[in-house]
Amino acid sequence: MAEIAQDGGGKGGKKRAKKMSTKIDMTPMVDLGFLLITFFMLTTTLSKPVTMQLSMPDKTDTKETSPVKLSETLTVSPDEKKIYYYQGIPGAPDTKLEVTDYSATGIRQILFDYKKRIGTNFTIVVKPTKGAKYRNMVDFLDECSITENKRYALLEMDPLTEKMIKDSGK
Instruction: Give the per-residue pLDDT at 34.
Output: 94
Answer whether 26's CB lies under 8 Å from 34's CB: no
- State the Cα torsion 58-124-122-67 to the nearest 10°: -50
Contact by Cβ (8 Å): 91, 132: no
Q: What percent of the chain is modeled with pLDDT above 70? A: 86
In the chain, the amino acid numbered 119 is G
Mean pLDDT for 103-112 is 87
pLDDT tens-place string over residues 49-64: 777 777 776 777 666 6
* Average pLDDT of the chain, as a whole number: 81
- What is the per-residue burial (b if ≥16 Cβ within 10 Å, else e) of 97-122? beebebeeeebbebbbebbeebeeeb
Query: pTM for the complete prediction?
Result: 0.59
pLDDT value at residue 2: 58
What is the CATH number that goes with domain 70-168?
3.30.420.40
Domain ranges (residues) in the chain = 70-168
> How much is the pLDDT for 13?
62
